[in-house]
Amino acid sequence: MKFLTRTVIVLSLVSLFTDMASEMLYPIMPVYLKSIGFSVLLIGILEGMAEGISGFSKGYFGKLSDSVGKRAPFVQLGYGLSALSKPMLAVFTFPLWVFFSRALDRLGKGIRTAPRDAILSAETTPGNKGKVFGFHRGMDTLGAVIGPSLALLYLFHYPENYKPLFLIAFLPGIAAVVCTLIIRDKKAASEVKSKKHPSFFSFIKYWKESSPTYRKVVGGILVFSLFNSSDMFLLLQAKQSGINDVHVIGLYIFYNLVYAICSLPAGIISDKLGLKNIFTVSLFIFAFVYFGFGMGSGIFFYTMLFSLYGIYAAMSEGISKAWITNLVPPGESATAVGTLAAFQSICAMLASAIGGLIWYSFGAGYMFVLTGIVTVLVAIYFILGNFKPLIKQSL
């Protein structure tokens, strides 16, 4: 495994520890917030705000990272803020404090994401980019398996005793921060500097200045993102079909396990068959899953769908980032990934609102089937389109 450089391994461990901490709290966060007086509406506002902060900051800090020619400080600060936010939620329960803590966590994610992906891209060659991003995504998602599993084990012994779990989640967060201290910027990255710092919405300007190929690819991804609503809808559909809470959380853990196992093989295959081709296949798998959720039910049926959903995730998220970095010069990689992430966050907020409205007005089946149809159309768009990469991929 020559593609596994020290930097790739360290960043993958950082992501594993961070996701372990975050996903440890994911299953209990809504319950905990309700226990301290948050209404469903307030929880929705909180999560919407968090998504917005994360998305917009990804665009800004990606551009800033390219402008100053540095990556490591953004990665270290971003993971540090996210780690710090975990115990803060257990200290005070005032709504403004909870909002501040959640905002700090998402700001940390926004600061680190694009510079981290730029570091990963710089560690690749055209022939192993899929492998590198796939391995990193697999390690990241492995944390999403370990974290909820530890949370379930803890709650089995200490039911409804939530606050200590936030303190426990601080430990893998600190491990992630310690690992980031090993990361150093390459000299090549620090040579590209700009005295002029970008504005907060500079990613919008980059969209106008970017290549037509970049805009065509990102445009297709964003149309898909506009209908790709929160995974909570999948879990809610499973719950409403009569599956109990333990099995629902089990399905979520199983999905992440499949995602983690398949990420590296998906990356290896994408290096051989092409990043675009594998991403397009993932869209067809996604559409099949959503058609399934709109038409069937039952624990075994949902287990099959969640396993396919894990395969889709392994073939899409890391692969799409690897594909995007092939469309721009190396000095713009953080900006390119950050711009995509910023617009995706806007689409994600709209997607969940649109999905919820369709579900409420016409029923869950209509929402899932409509999403599946739009996804098939986007996949056909990628099949028919000509997207010439700036960096040629070895096949």
- Per-residue pLDDT band for 1 (boundaries 50, 70, 90) equals low
- Per-residue pLDDT band for 55 (boundaries 50, 70, 90) equals confident
Contact of 143 with 19, CB cutoff 8 Å: yes
- Judge whether residue 95 has pLDDT over 50: yes
- Judge whether residue 40 has pLDDT over 70: no
- Judge whether residue 37 has pLDDT over 50: yes
Alpha carbon distances (Å) from 201 to 58, 60, 62, 69, 335? 10, 6, 11, 19, 12
- Judge whether residue 322 has pLDDT over 90: no
Tell me the domains of the chain and their CATH numbers: 6-182+203-384 (1.20.1250.20)
pLDDT of 229 reads 80
Other CB atoms within 10 A of residue 308 CB: 17
- Judge whether residue 290 has pLDDT over 90: yes
pLDDT of 390 reads 60
pLDDT per residue over 232-279, tens digit each?
A: 788 778 878 887 767 877 888 899 899 989 988 998 899 889 889 999
- Judge whether residue 189 has pLDDT over 60: no
Full-model pTM? 0.79
Contact of 322 with 221, CB cutoff 8 Å: no
State the residue for tokens 């081709």.
277
Q: How far apart are CA 348 and CA 53, in angstroms?
A: 13
Q: Which residue has the higher pLDDT, 176 or 205?
A: 176
Secondary structure, 3-state, 274-339 = CHHHHHHHHHHHHHHHHHHHHHCCCHHHHHHHHHHHHHHHHCCHHHHHHHHHCCCCHHHHHHHHHH
Single out the residue of 72, 162, 86, 55 nearest to residue 120, CA to CA: 72
**Average pLDDT for residues 95-107, to the nearest whole number?**
85
**Average pLDDT for residues 65-77, to the nearest whole number?**
90
Single out the residue of 199, 236, 184, 219 nearest to residue 352, CA to CA: 236
**Average pLDDT for residues 52-77, to the nearest whole number?**
86
Q: What angle do CA 56, 60, 62 make, to 5 degrees?
A: 115
pLDDT of 394 reads 46
pLDDT of 30 reads 67
Q: How far apart are CA 268 and CA 322, in angstroms?
A: 12
Alpha carbon distances (Å) from 6 to 132, 200, 389? 12, 33, 28
80-84, 104-108, 351-355: the lowest-pLDDT one: 351-355
- Per-residue pLDDT band for 395 (boundaries 50, 70, 90) equals very low
Amino acid at 133: F
Among 39-43, 94-98, 180-184, 344-348, name the most confident range: 180-184
pLDDT-above-70 percentage for the chain: 91
Q: Is the dihedral of CA 270, 272, 276, 277 positive or negative?
A: negative
Single out the residue of 299, 277, 313 nearest to residue 389, CA to CA: 277
**Average pLDDT for residues 145-156, to the nearest whole number?**
86
21-35, 61-75, 216-230: the lowest-pLDDT one: 21-35
Q: What is the mean pLDDT of the chain?
A: 84
Single out the residue of 285, 230, 278, 286 nearest to residue 383, CA to CA: 278
Contact of 226 with 351, CB cutoff 8 Å: yes
Dig out the tokens for 316 from the structure. Answer: 């899409």
